[in-house]
Structure 1
Amino acid sequence: MDSQPTANPMSLVDRTVIVTGAAQGIGRAVADLVVALGGNVVIADMNGDALEAAKAEYPEGRYLGVKANIANAAEVDALVQYAVDTFGAVHGLVNNAGITRPAMLSKMTLQEWDQVISVHLTGAFLCSQAVGNHMIERAKAGDPNPGSIVNISSDAGVQGTIGQVNYATAKAGIIGMTMSTAREWAKYNIRANCVAFGVVVTPMTETVRSEKFAETYLSRIPLGRWSSAEEAAKPVCFLLSDAASFITGQRLSANGGMQMAG
């Protein structure tokens, strides 16, 4: 008897996902995988040139690039409405946008603090609120699977870091935001989870991976290597998909064992 083909539980066919800060790095890899899994992707980024260049690399009708400051409520609302108008609905959100402004705590300026908190935390809040309200409307209209939110956190948010108290605080806040979102919106079957990365090969981690620090960091990673951006995209898309249909409010650590939860 011939075996029947098994449906792909990670399929994103007919789903639209907004990924913030996705002109490069992890966000871009997530966008690529969303499309490879059959979905439509909306990339929100401040780099308009990169958004325009990306257009040629995606299937026609499956990509939308929007230049937007995610820390601006009006621009976030416009972003979500544009995505809905283009694709009919938004089924997933990846709060990936982030920046770093390194400085020791005793010397960090208020501006350096505010900039990082604004992009990471305020941006994730505004995007979650705008997309979440759209998902809630669909849930109330009878959609049994209105969507999934995935926030990008970091090991820094659970163990701290030296020289980036703003970043570590923001990433810790993302974890709390994830759990609160999951509790509030579970009644609508809207799931919220986060992925906490260790060291991923992106422009943001060049200093950590430099000759000066690489040996120290690699010695703390049991798998003994960095993660690629393409590897990092996989757990994010897992949480977006039906493969994670009974998972919400969780922090998934994708760090090669660098930080292990008890």
Structure 2
Amino acid sequence: MSRLLEGRVAIVTGAGRGIGRAHALELARHGAAVVVNDYGVSLAGEGTGESPADEVVAEIEAAGGRAVANAVDVADFDQAEAMVRQAIEAYGGLDILVNNAGFVRDRMLVNTSEEEWDAVIRVHLKGHFAPLRHAGAWWRNEAKEGRQRAARVINTSSGAGLQGSVGQATYSAAKAGIAGLTLVAAQELGRYGVTVNAIAPVARTRMTEGAFDTSAMALPEDNSPVVAWLASEEAGDVTGRVIEIDGTRITLETGWRHGPSADAGARWDAGSVGPAVRGLIAEGPEPEPVYGA
């Protein structure tokens, strides 16, 4: 097997189970030293007292790889900084950040509580921002000091964020935000040698098993080879992209694009907006259906 990541240092958040665990194992197999982050919470984000990160570290070490456990809350700004610092102090630097941590509290929109909204937005969206902000600042400083690294960020969006998903308004909003964050971060950090991409993985995990029939879904590890390649130096020309992975199929998501337009030549009159908008809708493609619609 080729070792795409020999000598590189990675952080994988939410890596104690499921897709994150598969990512950590795959990166280690390709030669990366891995900081395995997992806060040890239930599917709904409640503390369990477990230490799944330690189990993944033991598995990596048993296979001859290098890894260290980390149990911080990635949505805590200061703890996220400490996690980045741990990677740098343990292995002499940081090359790869895989933002994966998250949980769900699925409800129809009118049944969603403020606490559920805040918790899901926090772990997904702030839990991407905080590690990315601290890693990005370190990479910027390295570049300014003449030590630019071939750094890679792989965020985790979802088809729910790209096409929408009935019963998952909060999760869909968070995952859509991650896609938008990916686009901006790719532009802002590119000058420092950093690429920023996102995946939209499909897999049978704790997060999907309770929502619908998962018997035909891909396995968590089916997503990880794409992450390993995006994390490699070879992928330096790919940034600002969202890639959906569904078993053996990978799809480049095209996202929002400017479609048909109409120009009134002056301020629109409310009465003329309706016919104009309906005309544009007739010209444009049909939107993809929302999951569960």
Which bracket does the TM-score occupy, shorter chain normalised? Answer: 0.7 to 0.9
The structure-2 alpha-carbon separation of the partners of 1:206 and 1:61, relative to structure 1 and needing over 3 Å to count, comes to closer
The size of the alignment, in residue pairs, is: 242
Asked if the contact 1:27–1:96 (Cα under 8 Å) also holds between the matched residues in 2, the reply is yes
Q: Report how far residue 17 of structure 1 moved.
A: 0.5
Secondary structure at the counterpart of residue 58 of structure 1: helix
State the alpha-carbon separation in 2 of the partners of residues 254 and 57 from structure 1: 25
The structure-2 alpha-carbon separation of the partners of 1:156 and 1:259, relative to structure 1 and needing over 3 Å to count, comes to farther
Asked if the contact 2:179–2:242 (Cα under 8 Å) also holds between the matched residues in 1, the reply is yes
List runs of 5+ in structure 1 lacking aligned partners.
Answer: 1-6, 219-224
State the alpha-carbon separation in 1 of the partners of residues 69 and 153 from structure 2: 19
State the alpha-carbon separation in 2 of the partners of residues 53 and 36 from structure 1: 16
Residue 39 of structure 1: which of 21, 29, 32 is its match? Answer: 32
Q: Match for residue 231 of structure 2?
A: 240
Q: Match for residue 102 of structure 1?
A: 106
Which has the higher relative contact order, 1 or 2, with Cα contacts under 8 A spaced 6 or more apart? 1
State the alpha-carbon separation in 2 of the partners of residues 261 and 130 from structure 1: 27
The structure-2 alpha-carbon separation of the partners of 1:203 and 1:194, relative to structure 1 and needing over 3 Å to count, comes to same
Deviation by residue 1:114-160 (Cα, 9 ceiling, x = unmatched): 10000000110001001111111222222343411000111111110
Q: Report how far residue 201 of structure 1 moved.
A: 1.4
* Identity in percent: 35
Residue 128 of structure 1: which of 125, 132, 135 is its match? Answer: 132
Q: 1:50 aligned to 2:52?
A: yes
Q: Report how far residue 31 of structure 1 moved.
A: 0.2
Residue 29 of structure 1: which of 15, 22, 31 is its match? Answer: 22
Deviation by residue 1:74-130 (Cα, 9 ceiling, x = unmatched): 111111111111101010000100110011101100100010000000110001001
User: What TM-score, normalized to structure 2?
Assistant: 0.78
Q: Match for residue 205 of structure 1?
A: 208
Q: Match for residue 273 of structure 2?
A: none
CA-based RMSD: 2.1
State the alpha-carbon separation in 1 of the partners of residues 196 and 32 from structure 2: 19
Q: Match for residue 260 of structure 2?
A: none
List runs of 5+ in structure 2 lacking aligned partners.
Answer: 41-49, 255-293
User: What TM-score, normalized to structure 1?
Assistant: 0.86
State the alpha-carbon separation in 2 of the partners of residues 92 and 113 from structure 1: 29
Q: Match for residue 13 of structure 2?
A: 20
